[in-house]
Amino acid sequence: MIQLLACVLLLTGLLEWYTWRDALRHVNFHSESETDRTEPSVPFNVRVTAENTGRIPIGFVRAEVRYPQEMELPVPSKIRHVTSERIATQIFSLKRRQRVTRTMEVRIDRRGCFRMLGARVYRGDFIGINEQTQLYPEIHDIVVFPARVGGERLKKALTGLIGDMVSRRYLLQDPILTTGMREYVPGDPVRSISWTQTARRGQLMVREFEYTREEACRVILCLPDRERIGTDLLDICCGLVRSICEELTKKGITAVFYTNSSPYGLYIDRSFSCTVQSRNFVTLLDALGRLTDMTTCHQEALINDCIRGVERGQEFVLVVPHASELAAKAAADMQARTGRRAALIVGEEWDHDRAV
């Protein structure tokens, strides 16, 4: 009996020594999102993986996975306000050389760039007196695109401007290369109407052609100098830019987007710009998702960048958060220096026009 008790104590001591020395040596942990770009409020999956690379089973491993605070989870979680994180606990029991992966559906309801930052993993010793911990740091960015803002009201506000640009483009088109068909909009030349497709579809359809000059519009998101406008108003402005550029690309109009808003994770001291076309529209959406309410340059520097190299026939759409003298001055300055129109869109006037 004493020998049996001695063997049990010896075995217990060995297991206690082993689990304390190599508590997390054979544990691998990984967390990630299955997508890095998504629409607001659209569900997507995140997965966590725990692996035991050793030959001895691990009965209990606790992982505190670090999610963005804005992420809605289907499991209980707690908010760590100091680091703006949402902590969800996962419990694993791993056999020898076993890998366990769990997937859950989550969502984020607002625009922005959010980060998953890995997890902190805990494992106790064999007796359960002590606990060791290890941080598994990872960085996975999830960009949530802005929701559309404006709807039919914005389309009506832009009808004259877009129709005018479409009409001018026909003066520079290549009439041999037809790229497709689309619905007729006011301003389209009558000679571009395809009567065969019109009769087939029961509505006016026009032919789309290749063009010798592509850029026809410059869309500018201008934030005021030395003022933080807040994320809600910035979300509206980004949604307006998205809706405007979608209307332009639907009509085959290529635009260039400019802003002095600082993109999250990108440190520059000048304006940010990107070309907007139907084939690379996700580039604009990614940029809009990353924008913050901090500025990279003054309003005057942004306007100088926007009007540089302007050609005859190009138009401007200026999106600003507030109606102010500086915003009106910027629009008037662009018109005076280029001789082109600058349509002014004020974000705070579209608060009730967000897409649901």
Q: Which residues does 285 contact at the CB level (< 8 Å), separation at least 6? A: 37, 143, 145, 146, 242
Residues 286-297 have pLDDT tens digits of 999 999 989 988
Give the distance from CA 351 to its chain's centroid: 20
Q: How confident is the model at residue 312 (pLDDT cuts 50, 70, 90)?
A: low
Residue 34 vs residue 337, higher pLDDT: 34
| Choice among 12-26, 48-62, 120-134, 290-304 with the minimum mean pLDDT | 12-26
Write out the residue limits of the CATH 2.60.40.10 domain(s) in the chain. Answer: 26-144
Instruction: Write the CATH number of the domain with boundaries 151-177+212-353.
Output: 3.40.50
- Return the amino acid letter for 200: R
The reported pLDDT for the residue numbered 356 is 42
Sequence-distant (≥ 6) Cβ neighbours of residue 44 within 8 angstroms: 33, 34, 35, 38, 105, 106, 107
Q: What pLDDT shows up at residue 254?
A: 83
Query: Could you tell me whether strands 315-320 and 342-346 are parallel, antiparallel, or unpaired per DSSP bridges?
Result: parallel
- Look at 68 and 169; give whichever has higher pLDDT: 68
Q: Which ranges in the chain are annotated with CATH 3.40.50?
A: 151-177+212-353
Q: What is the pLDDT of residues 118-174, one digit of tens each?
A: 999 987 655 555 677 889 999 999 999 999 998 888 888 777 666 666 555 544 444
Give the whole-angstrom CA distance, residue 27 versus residue 92.
11
DSSP string spanning 327-352? HHHHHHHHHHHHSS-EEEEEGGGGGG
Instruction: Reduce the DSSP state of residue 181 to 3 states and report it.
Output: strand
pLDDT(43) > 90? yes
First to last CA, the chain: 74
CA 81 vs CA 52, 115, 121: distances in Å: 32, 15, 20
For residue 44, is pLDDT > 90?
yes
Rounded average pLDDT over 4-19: 57
Which amino acid, 113?
Answer: C
The answer to whether residue 212 scores a pLDDT higher than 50 is no
Sequence-ordered list of residues with C-beta below 8 angstroms from that of 317, at least 6 positions apart, any chain: 158, 161, 217, 218, 219, 220, 244, 342, 343, 345
Give the pLDDT mean for 269-282: 86
Q: What is the pLDDT, as a whole number, of residue 170?
A: 47
pLDDT band at 48 (very low <50, low <70, confident <90, very high): very high
pLDDT tens-digit series, residues 238-271: 999 999 999 888 877 888 999 999 888 677 778 8
Of 49, 54, 51, nearest in space to 96 by CA: 54
Average pLDDT over residues 49-57: 88
Alpha helices in 251-324 (DSSP H): 281-290, 299-307
Q: Considering the entire predicted model, what is its pTM?
A: 0.79
Mean pLDDT of the 57-71 span: 90
Report the mean per-residue pLDDT for the chain. Answer: 82
Which numeric CATH code is attached to 26-144? 2.60.40.10
- E strand spans, 170-227: 173-183, 205-211, 215-221
